[in-house]
């Protein structure tokens, strides 16, 4: 089971420096926003880089990336940070530091882009969910096309999380189903490209 975390704090930082840095950025940005107007305040979120859409006004392109590191309320931060802490480390080791950075940002961008494309009306959004679903997409690729490289318990875990995640996205109005699906699809495709063009796990 590759998703069980046995590392000490110092080992985690040493083995998974990018994932740790992402977690740290999320926490720091959350703290800054908490003292600058509130993490659930739309004006504060937009000021710090959240996605938004208003009639006749499209978001700047850099927001597709900055929104990945912002969260709306503590439960949102906690849930996404836990998922990142548990599921991201194996992928960072598989891809390597630089490929993993490209993959993570690309998956987050894909989630935000699909949500923006399909969303109607005014909205604002933030969170790492698209990038996290991209991580799930990478393991889904392995589970489907390289079954021998992923143990049975890990495959089942990813399948269960995806099923529950889609159900949760459908029944909770505040959750972006399109953002999750965009990240999942983006991660699946990105990992397939990276896998085929390199000697990852070969």
Q: What is the pLDDT along the chain (202 residues), one digit of tens a residue?
A: 899 999 999 999 999 999 999 999 999 999 999 999 999 999 999 999 999 988 777 789 999 999 999 999 999 999 999 999 999 999 999 999 999 999 999 999 999 999 888 877 788 899 999 999 999 999 999 999 888 788 889 989 999 999 998 888 888 777 788 899 999 999 999 999 998 876 555 4
Q: Which two tokens stand for residue 190?
A: 């990105």
CATH at residue 105? 1.20.1540.10
- Tell which residue, 99, 36, 35, 46, has the closest CA to residue 91: 99
d(CA 171, CA 127): 18
**Does residue 5 lie in a domain region?**
no
**Does residue 4 lie in a domain region?**
no
pTM of model > 0.85: yes
The answer to whether residues 183 and 88 touch, using CB atoms and an 8 Å cutoff, is no
**Does residue 9 lie in a domain region?**
no
**Does residue 57 lie in a domain region?**
yes
Structurally, how many domains does the chain consist of? 1
Q: Is 81 a catalytic residue?
A: no
User: What are the residues whose beta carbons fall under 8 Å from the beta carbon of 174, sequence distance 6 or more?
Assistant: none
Q: Is 71 a catalytic residue?
A: no
Q: What residues are paired with 53 via a beta bridge? A: 123
- Tell which residue, 162, 164, 111, 118, has the closest CA to residue 140: 162
Give the 3-state secondary structure of residue 91.
helix
- Tell which residue, 192, 181, 79, 72, has the closest CA to residue 139: 192
Active-site residue, from 71, 81, 176, 180: 180
**Does residue 30 lie in a domain region?**
yes
**Does residue 129 lie in a domain region?**
yes
d(CA 85, CA 23): 8
Give the 3-state secondary structure of residue 125.
strand
Q: What residues are paired with 57 via a beta bridge? A: 54
**Does residue 22 lie in a domain region?**
yes
The answer to whether residues 127 and 63 touch, using CB atoms and an 8 Å cutoff, is no
Domain that holds residue 98: 14-197
The answer to whether residues 107 and 135 touch, using CB atoms and an 8 Å cutoff, is yes
Active-site residue, from 81, 107, 129, 169: 129
d(CA 108, CA 67): 9
């Amino acid at each position: 089971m590759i998703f069980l975390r046995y590392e000490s704090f110092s080992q985690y930082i040493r083995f998974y420096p990018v994932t740790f840095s992402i977690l740290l950025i999320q926490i720091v940005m959350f703290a800054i926003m908490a003292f600058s107007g509130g993490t659930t305040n739309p004006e504060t979120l937009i000021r710090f880089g959240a996605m938004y859409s208003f009639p006749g006004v499209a978001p700047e392109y850099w927001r597709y990336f900055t929104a990945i590191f912002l969260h709306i309320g503590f439960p949102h931060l906690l849930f996404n940070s836990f998922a990142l802490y548990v599921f991201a480390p194996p992928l960072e080791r598989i891809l390597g530091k630089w490929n993993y950075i490209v993959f993570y940002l690309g998956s987050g961008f894909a989630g935000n882009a699909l949500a923006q494309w399909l969303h109607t009306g005014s909205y604002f959004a933030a969170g790492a969910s698209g990038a996290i679903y991209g991580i799930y997409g990478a393991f889904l690729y392995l589970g489907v096309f390289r079954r021998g490289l992923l143990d049975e318990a890990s495959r089942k875990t990813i399948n269960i999380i995806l099923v529950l995640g889609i159900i949760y996205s459908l029944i909770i109005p505040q959750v972006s189903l399109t953002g999750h699906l965009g990240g999942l699809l983006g991660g699946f495709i990105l990992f397939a490209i990276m896998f085929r063009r390199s000697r990852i796990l070969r």
